[in-house]
Structure 1
Amino acid sequence: MEIWYVWVFLISFIGVSVGSWIYRWRNPKCKGTLPPGSMGLPLIGETLSFFATSKSIDIHPFVKDRLRRYGPLFKTSIAGWPVVVSSDPDFNHHVLQQEGKLVDFYLMDSFTKLFLHDKTKDLGGSLHKYLRRSGLTHFGFEPLKRKLLSEFEVVVNHELHEWTKQPEIDVKLNVVPMLFDLSSQIVMSYKPERNVAEGLNNMLQGLMRFPLYFPGTAFYRCVQKQRIGIRLASRVLEERMKARSCNKNGDLLDQVMGDIGKEEFLTKETIPLLLFGLIVASLETLSPAITLATMYLLDNPSDLQELTEEHEKILKKREDGSSGLVWEEYKSMTFTHYVINEILRLANTTPGMLRKVITDIHVNGYTIPKDWILLVVPAAIHLNPNIYEDPLTFNPSRWKNIGSNAMAKNFIPFGGGNRHCIGADFTKVLVAVHLHVWVTKFRLTKIKGGNVIRSPILGFTDGFYVKVSKKQC
């Protein structure tokens, strides 16, 4: 009988403990009122729903369903972290301006494992300031205006000419090597083998998963791709250091090598990770944007015609018909910029911006506790019917009536505040050049594919195939 009492006590104790733990999980402590929402299952939270694949360009169902149920702010748990998701434009604009005061930059574990060394994981602001300063020197406004615009035109023209030699091409798969070539030239003056670049296609799809490293998982495949890229960057760095050719190539690697000793986080171990991270960032934001632009323009002949007429006018105004694009011509591309804005609004290649809350934030009667994660979701703003009429429709002309004040809060494809993406101008110029070369020199015909998915990264289930031919003069 005594043993029976012991077992009853143990089972009761375990039951009460588990029940208490589940209650605390579902009802986190807060010095105020938490936003509405659910913390999901213990430990797992709502992670599985967050990473589920959706066959639509619309807001991911995880976010859309909860916005409908709870409003623009809701709590959840993703990958073990307590999270508040925000689609409130005013609040997002405010909090992104308050980095270092209300929030700090934060990356998912999978990103830190692949792109940050142990020496750089906790540097936060100082690392970002260095990357921003050095990155803008090579990817920013001045280098774009001075040399990159014309270099883009040469590369895109060559790539599209190569596409004419094939019966059909998968746009995204073939854009990736072109972008890898461009980025690696700017970063480390290196022209990679095409199969290396193609192997990096859809890399971010693997990052947006649990960081479980064992064969068969998406993250495992992503790590294998990362190792190839890191070995390449490490080899280039080693050769450059042996040759002592610092400051002779004029690339980002030269600048970084010149700063070794000035910045403690720049070492033989960290530099390849930083270089590779910059290259992947360009691949995984630009390739879906260019693919989506191709798809929507081919599906909307009137917009394609208006775009073509704008670029043909540019050619007619030139005194020298054989000259290439110049900066003044790029700035004159009014409708082209509308198209680019519309593609960035629909693509939402950045699924969310993560910030770690460093002090309790009070908003709309709710409290977001210190040490929680804030997730700002651009798609929830860009595809909101209360902000953009008929938001899932491709309509470049909508941008004729959208002022800069509205764009500051309601159009955030490149982030906000101090973390505004250094590649914003790089992206716009490259897409504009790609469109210019396409509509003035080539003809694209849709073959098949074009079905999009969000997981929550934008992707294409079966590719998007086109036939490319030269335009007849």
Structure 2
Amino acid sequence: MWIEGLCIVAVVVIYLTYWLNKWSNPKCNGVLPPGSMGLPIIGESFQLNVRNYSLDVHPFIKKRAQRYGPIFRTSLAGCPVVVSTDPEFNHHIAKQEGRLVELWYLDSYSKIFTMEGESKTTAHGLVHRYLRSIILNHCGAEAIEKMLLSQIEELFIKALQTWSSQPSIEVKRATSVLILHFGAKLLVGYDHEKSPLKMSETFNNVAGGFLVFPLNIPGTAHYKSLKDQTEAVSMLRKIIKERINSPENHHGDFLDQAINDMDTEKYLTEDIIIYSLFGVLYTNFDSISSIIALTLMLLEDQPKVLQELQAEHEAILKGRENPSSTLTWNEYKSMTFTFQVINEVLRIAAVSPGLLRRALKDIEYKGFTIPAGWTIMLANSALQLNPNTYKDPLAFNPWRWKDLDPLVVSKNFMPFGGGIRKCAGAEYAKAFLATFLHVLVTKYRWTRLKGGNIARSPLLGFTDGLHIRITKKSS
């Protein structure tokens, strides 16, 4: 019997050895980039999600780039991944949509942002082009110039007046609620004061399960994200059903246009509209609120930057014939230093670790082969904090943008993505940030009370928020 037992053990050991070797050395029609696949199935997902208490590049990316070079392989959330911190490669891949690569989500992300049974590439092609067009129609530069700029200014005037009457506010939470309510009103006619649906409470809880291993069991971050996502999608579904069943309740918004276009754009379905809305609303409210919180923290630590920012906005007020008039498009476009500040915050923030694409065919680059079907993470966060491109990269220095070469910037600064996938809401986000700063620095001052401790896991956040007191400036 002991001989039979030894034979069984030997077979198991041989099988496990073979399996581990196969996992560690995936099949490739060439030479794979160097790296490690981590543990079978799990890969290196846990290492990526270890909290980093710094604005610097996440250690997962930084240490591996130092060890293996600017392009390395790993496994995240059950998928083989090639991570790139190479600016030339990232710039090239960002322009190869539909040829060498396609938009891709890891399972943990796709289950949150796509409907059950939907292809991960639904946003590719016709649907993506349609969504980009409709978003630009309602949130692009023309819409901002004609109506949104004044609405955003009014939003912040009321909000800051309310916040200044409170002993303190937690910046990210307060601004995320504000931005979500504004975006939901703009896109789907949601009125948070009248609606029984508490959208902001649900959306705020979704972020925890993006790049974790997609383990859908109670107690895991992915399980909780899916639960909150289901609730948020249910809210949007109710809103859409009500609009479809009440055609007389017309708002002329994103939702009306999408519903009307379902008759002519046959690829549009109710589910695609719902999940697209969910993605647009979530992406804007979470990223913009994080940037606003970080901006206030950085400005407080750099009084010279704040002083020049205030001077620019006070000059705008002094240049008006009517001091009480609203912000104009020409005034907005004249905010040279403000946009340098915004670019610098976006550069340092690097809100997400990277952009994800999937190789449609084997990709050859500098002697390495990325196999078809593999995920590619363009780690733009590393590019934006590269000391070879940006001197003293962790320093908050808006003046650096006066002298940076535009070609260098185009390959090393992609906070809104690149190529045909560049975020359609980029101008919308900048308008929010610039208008918030305009109202804040001309009418108020703020003091940090507590918090402001950075925690990337891997998305940008704060361990205990950023709590401030806002007071109105004396006349």
TM-score after normalising by structure 1: 0.96
1:180 matched to which residue of 2?
180
2:141 matched to which residue of 1?
141
1:342 matched to which residue of 2?
344
* Between 399-408 and 425-434, the greater mean CA deviation after superposition: 399-408
1:421 matched to which residue of 2?
423
Question: Is 1:41 matched up with 2:39?
Answer: yes
Q: What pairs with 1:226-305 in structure 2 (closer than 5 Å)?
A: 226-245=229-248, 248-305=250-307
Measured against aligned partners, the alpha-carbon deviations of 1:201-243 in whole angstroms (never above 9, x if no partner) come to 2532333322323332222322232233222212221221221
Distance, in Å, in 1 between the alignment partners of 2:42 and 2:226 is: 23
8 Å contact kept, 1:119–1:270: no
Measured against aligned partners, the alpha-carbon deviations of 1:88-137 in whole angstroms (never above 9, x if no partner) come to 00111011111111111101223322222234644332221121111111
Q: What pairs with 1:7-86 in structure 2 (closer than 5 Å)?
A: 7-86=5-84
* Between 265-274 and 15-24, the greater mean CA deviation after superposition: 265-274
1:206 matched to which residue of 2?
209
Distance, in Å, in 1 between the alignment partners of 2:120 and 2:42 is: 24
Change (3 A) 1:294 1:198: farther
Change (3 A) 1:228 1:79: closer
Distance, in Å, in 2 between the alignment partners of 1:417 and 1:269 is: 27
Distance, in Å, in 2 between the alignment partners of 1:133 and 1:18 is: 51
Runs of 4+ aligned structure 1 residues displaced above 4 Å come to none
* Between 226-235 and 187-196, the greater mean CA deviation after superposition: 187-196
Distance, in Å, in 2 between the alignment partners of 1:32 and 1:152 is: 53
Q: How far is 1:267 from its partner?
A: 3.1
Q: Which amino acid aligns with 1:187?
A: L
Change (3 A) 1:73 1:402: same
Distance, in Å, in 2 between the alignment partners of 1:9 and 1:199 is: 55
Q: Which amino acid aligns with 1:455?
A: S
Q: How far is 1:277 from its partner?
A: 1.8
Distance, in Å, in 2 between the alignment partners of 1:321 and 1:456 is: 44
Q: How far is 1:448 from its partner?
A: 1.1
CA-based RMSD of the aligned residues comes to 1.6
Q: Which amino acid aligns with 2:138?
A: H
In percent, how many aligned pairs have the same letter? Answer: 44
2:228 matched to which residue of 1?
225
The answer for unaligned runs of 5 or more in structure 2 is none
Q: How far is 1:199 from its partner?
A: 4.1
8 Å contact kept, 1:338–1:396: yes
Q: How far is 1:392 from its partner?
A: 0.8
Distance, in Å, in 1 between the alignment partners of 2:217 and 2:43 is: 22
Aligned to 2:448, the other structure's residue is in SS state strand
Distance, in Å, in 1 between the alignment partners of 2:192 and 2:224 is: 20
8 Å contact kept, 2:233–2:278: yes
Q: How far is 1:385 from its partner?
A: 0.9
Match of 1:376 among 375, 378, 393: 378
* Between 120-129 and 406-415, the greater mean CA deviation after superposition: 120-129
2:164 matched to which residue of 1?
164
1:111 matched to which residue of 2?
109
8 Å contact kept, 1:208–1:457: no
Measured against aligned partners, the alpha-carbon deviations of 1:355-383 in whole angstroms (never above 9, x if no partner) come to 11111111111111111111111111011
Measured against aligned partners, the alpha-carbon deviations of 1:57-80 in whole angstroms (never above 9, x if no partner) come to 110010010011111011111122
Q: How far is 1:265 from its partner?
A: 4.2
Measured against aligned partners, the alpha-carbon deviations of 1:125-157 in whole angstroms (never above 9, x if no partner) come to 222112111111111111011111111000011
Q: How far is 1:273 from its partner?
A: 2.2
Measured against aligned partners, the alpha-carbon deviations of 1:261-292 in whole angstroms (never above 9, x if no partner) come to 33344333343222222111111110100110
TM-score after normalising by structure 2: 0.95
Q: Which amino acid aligns with 2:148?
A: L
8 Å contact kept, 2:206–2:226: no
8 Å contact kept, 1:47–1:77: yes
The answer for unaligned runs of 5 or more in structure 1 is none
Q: Which amino acid aligns with 2:50?
A: A
8 Å contact kept, 1:176–1:198: no
Distance, in Å, in 1 between the alignment partners of 2:96 and 2:406 is: 21
* Between 324-333 and 271-280, the greater mean CA deviation after superposition: 271-280
Question: Is 1:319 matched up with 2:321?
Answer: yes
Measured against aligned partners, the alpha-carbon deviations of 1:308-352 in whole angstroms (never above 9, x if no partner) come to 000000000001111111111111101100000001001111221
Aligned to 2:461, the other structure's residue is in SS state strand
Match of 1:391 among 390, 393, 411: 393
Match of 2:96 among 74, 98, 103: 98
* Between 361-370 and 191-200, the greater mean CA deviation after superposition: 191-200
